[in-house]
């Protein structure tokens, strides 16, 4: 009887530090067979990435220590080897050859000083006795197989010259270069647009079917699981809480954690309806669907808009003469006009590179427009001189995509919230500012004792709450949310979306919500504006745009959203 491709038995992984021992993976057992895709699902910290890195022995030891269990791999179905007992030389012969891995962030996985072609060629020559010419031809063939545009040209390009989706395809080509028996995909589509994500998922599925390999697909996105996986394994706090066929997991989940993950997706809920969170299910609370109180802001011609954008252009020089005169431009935002009513949430969607982030930043004059005008509360922002922008920025705030890089790692979160109040001279003294900062922490569900802690001591979801508290501490009337939930686990995303809805009502906020996830934008927005190549493709009521799109580009975006269920 042939053995499974991969068999993990009773594996426990501990991390040893000065503070003690932390068990990251608790006695888990699972199997992966040739020709099947097994998804490992769970939130950040659930142990799914530690499990995948353990297979290839990529965890540094110390601090990692394998205190129990075995990881048995059988490339030919007959002879099993325990990965925990292999020497460094034996592991090198398996890594990239028999077992390959696609990492979450391709930019940090690719060497920035070598061309994409040379890096794939190196992987081929490391494991196969072939000439440079043969390796070059094989690389070109792989680039064609992963559907990279103009493969011959991209062979000589460096990673920074490729888009996120193209870099990920290079990583897939590298992983496939030696025909592995097992492919491990660690969150390979998390940061990608839905259209690029759909292409990558189809590509992995197609390669898996043609090469008959086993695939472990690690993700926190249940829509992706429904799209690609044959079986699903759900992990929570280092342990497997449920596993079975994808159909069974979606249609009849047994564990409260799985039920919570499935229930808190925005795609299942109407605008304004409070999203359930995982803790509701784990603690056995009764889920009562709150009736939506959200209403669409009337767009009558009589009411003056809070924000009015007219023929806005933001162009960047693409090529210059020797003397610095621009010859050509990248038209990031090109002749865009729209209005936002007081109290409205306008969703702004589109693929990476469409100009949505540039547009959002230009509204705060973080990027100066090339042309056009921005009117806020009857005042032309584009005519304000830079030294007079300070007062304006108290009223218009931005919540950035990555909360970690937008917080000073050397400053406590309390000081980070107090600092903008000091800059704008809010409240009478430092004591009152600290009290207000404490109040803002309370409003975003953080505790007073968090005031003196540093950003690295918080999870991604908690850091996003801190950034929201800092933005709202100034009492703004208008907030730009730039991909502020795109990198979060689905349950943390639900908490942040609930928080934003609560704060919008309490502070009477007007918001522009930028995202590439149409299901999230539909849930939180009154209207949706779709951008493509720097221009407005389509605009209208959120439900109308989602349910009945008029333009082909919008239809393609919606069709690319992963299925929510089988």
In angstroms, the CA 336 to CA 536 distance is 6
Query: Which pLDDT score is estimated for 529?
Result: 95
H or E element that contains 175: helix 164-176
H or E element that contains 22: strand 20-32
Query: Which pLDDT score is estimated for 286?
Result: 63
Query: Which pLDDT score is estimated for 71?
Result: 94
Closest CA to 336 of 371, 361, 368: 371
Closest CA to 170 of 181, 179, 158, 182: 158
Query: Which pLDDT score is estimated for 296?
Result: 47
Task: Specify whether the CB–CB gap between 208 and 215 falls below 8 A.
Answer: yes
In a domain, 504, yes or no: yes
Rg (CA), the chain: 25
In a domain, 100, yes or no: no
What is the DSSP track for 27-51? EEEEEE-TT-EEEEE--TTSSHHHH
In angstroms, the CA 177 to CA 127 distance is 10
End-to-end CA distance of the chain: 32
> Number of folded domains in the chain?
1
User: What tokens does 533 get?
Assistant: 């190549």
CATH of the domain at 434: 3.40.50.300
In angstroms, the CA 449 to CA 468 distance is 18
Residues 39-66: b if buried by 16+ CB within 10 A, e if exposed: bbbbbebbbbbbbbbbbbbebeeeebeb
In a domain, 399, yes or no: yes
Residues 6+ apart with CB under 8 A from 295: none
Partners of 313 in beta bridges: 334, 371
In angstroms, the CA 530 to CA 515 distance is 10
In a domain, 1, yes or no: no
Closest CA to 503 of 477, 537, 533: 477
Closest CA to 308 of 334, 342, 333: 342
User: What tokens does 318 get?
Assistant: 């693409």
Query: Which pLDDT score is estimated for 563?
Result: 63
- N residues, the chain: 566
In a domain, 199, yes or no: no
Q: What is the pTM of this model?
A: 0.81
Count other C-beta atoms under 10 Å from residue 233's C-beta: 25
pLDDT in tens, the chain (566 residues): 567 899 999 999 999 888 788 899 999 999 999 889 999 998 877 888 899 999 999 988 888 999 999 999 997 767 889 999 999 999 988 888 889 998 877 667 789 899 999 999 998 988 888 899 999 999 999 898 887 888 888 899 898 888 777 888 898 888 888 888 999 998 887 667 777 788 888 888 888 888 888 999 998 778 788 888 999 999 999 999 999 999 999 999 999 999 998 888 888 888 878 888 888 888 877 665 655 444 445 545 455 789 999 999 999 887 788 777 878 888 889 999 999 999 999 999 988 778 888 999 999 999 999 999 999 988 899 988 877 788 888 889 999 877 778 889 999 999 999 999 998 888 888 889 999 999 989 888 888 888 999 988 887 778 888 998 999 899 899 999 988 887 677 888 888 899 889 888 888 899 999 987 888 899 999 999 999 989 999 999 999 999 899 999 999 888 888 765 44
Task: Specify whether the CB–CB gap between 417 and 437 falls below 8 A.
Answer: yes
The range of the structural domain enclosing residue 424 comes to: 343-361+381-559
User: What tokens does 137 get?
Assistant: 């031809």
Task: Specify whether the CB–CB gap between 40 and 214 falls below 8 A.
Answer: no
In a domain, 245, yes or no: no
User: What tokens does 50 get?
Assistant: 């530690």
In a domain, 528, yes or no: yes
In a domain, 514, yes or no: yes
In angstroms, the CA 191 to CA 196 distance is 10
């Amino acid at each position: 009887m042939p053995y499974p491709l991969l068999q993990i038995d009773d594996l426990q992984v501990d991390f040893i530090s000065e503070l003690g021992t932390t068990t990251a993976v608790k006695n888990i057992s699972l199997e992966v067979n040739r020709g099947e895709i097994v998804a490992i699902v769970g939130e950040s910290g659930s142990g799914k990435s530690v499990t995948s890195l353990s297979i290839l022995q990529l965890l540094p030891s110390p601090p990692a220590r394998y205190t129990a269990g075995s990881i048995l791999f059988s490339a030919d179905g007959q002879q099993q080897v325990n990965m925990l007992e292999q020497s460094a030389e034996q592991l090198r012969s398996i890594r990239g050859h028999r077992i390959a891995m696609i990492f979450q962030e391709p930019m940090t996985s690719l060497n920035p000083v070598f061309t994409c072609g040379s890096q794939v060629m190196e992987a081929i020559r490391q494991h196969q006795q072939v000439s440079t010419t043969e390796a070059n031809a094989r690389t070109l063939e792989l680039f064609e197989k992963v559907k990279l545009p103009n493969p011959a040209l991209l062979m000589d390009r460096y990673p920074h010259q490729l888009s996120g989706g193209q870099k990920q395809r290079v990583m897939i080509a590298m992983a496939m270069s030696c025909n592995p028996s097992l492919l491990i995909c660690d969150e390979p589509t998390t940061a990608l647009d839905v259209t690029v994500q759909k292409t990558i998922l189809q590509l992995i599925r197609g390669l898996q079917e043609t090469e008959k390999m086993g695939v472990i697909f690690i993700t926190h996105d249940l829509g992706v699981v429904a799209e690609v996986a044959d079986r699903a394994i759900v992990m929570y706090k280092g342990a497997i809480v449920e596993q079975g066929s994808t159909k069974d997991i979606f249609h009849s989940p047994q564990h409260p954690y799985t039920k919570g993950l499935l229930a808190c997706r925005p795609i299942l809920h109407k605008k304004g309806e409070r999203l359930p969170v995982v803790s509701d299910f784990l603690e056995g609370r009764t889920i009562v669907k709150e009736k939506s109180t959200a209403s669409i802001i009337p767009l009558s011609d009589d009411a003056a808009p809070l924000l009015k954008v007219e023929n806005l252009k933001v162009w960047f020089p693409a090529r210059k003469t020797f003397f610095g005169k621009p010859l050509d431009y990248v038209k990031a935002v090109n002749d865009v006009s729209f209005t936002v009513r007081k109290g409205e949430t306008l969703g702004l969607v589109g693929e990476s590179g469409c100009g949505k982030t540039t547009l959002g930043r230009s509204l705060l004059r973080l990027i100066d427009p090339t042309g056009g005008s921005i009117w806020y509360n009857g005042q032309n922002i584009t005519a304000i001189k830079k030294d007079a922008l300070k007062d304006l920025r108290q009223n218009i705030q931005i919540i950035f995509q990555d909360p970690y890089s937008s917080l000073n790692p050397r400053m406590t979160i309390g000081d980070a919230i107090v600092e903008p109040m000091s800059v704008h001279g809010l409240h009478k003294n430092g004591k009152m500012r600290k009290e207000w900062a404490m109040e803002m922490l309370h409003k975003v569900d953080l505790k007073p004792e968090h005031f003196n802690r540093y950003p690295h001591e918080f999870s991604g979801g908690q850091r996003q709450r801190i950034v929201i508290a800092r933005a709202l501490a100034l009492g703004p009337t208008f907030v730009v949310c730039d991909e502020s939930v795109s990198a979060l686990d689905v349950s943390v995303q639900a908490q942040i979306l609930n928080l934003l809805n609560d704060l919008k009502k309490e502070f009477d906020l007007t918001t522009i919500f930028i995202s590439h996830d149409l299901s999230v934008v539909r849930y939180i927005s009154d209207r949706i504006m779709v951008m493509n190549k720097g221009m407005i493709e389509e605009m209208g009521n959120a439900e109308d745009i989602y349910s009945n799109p008029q333009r082909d580009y919008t239809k393609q975006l919606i069709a690319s959203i992963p299925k929510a269920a089988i």
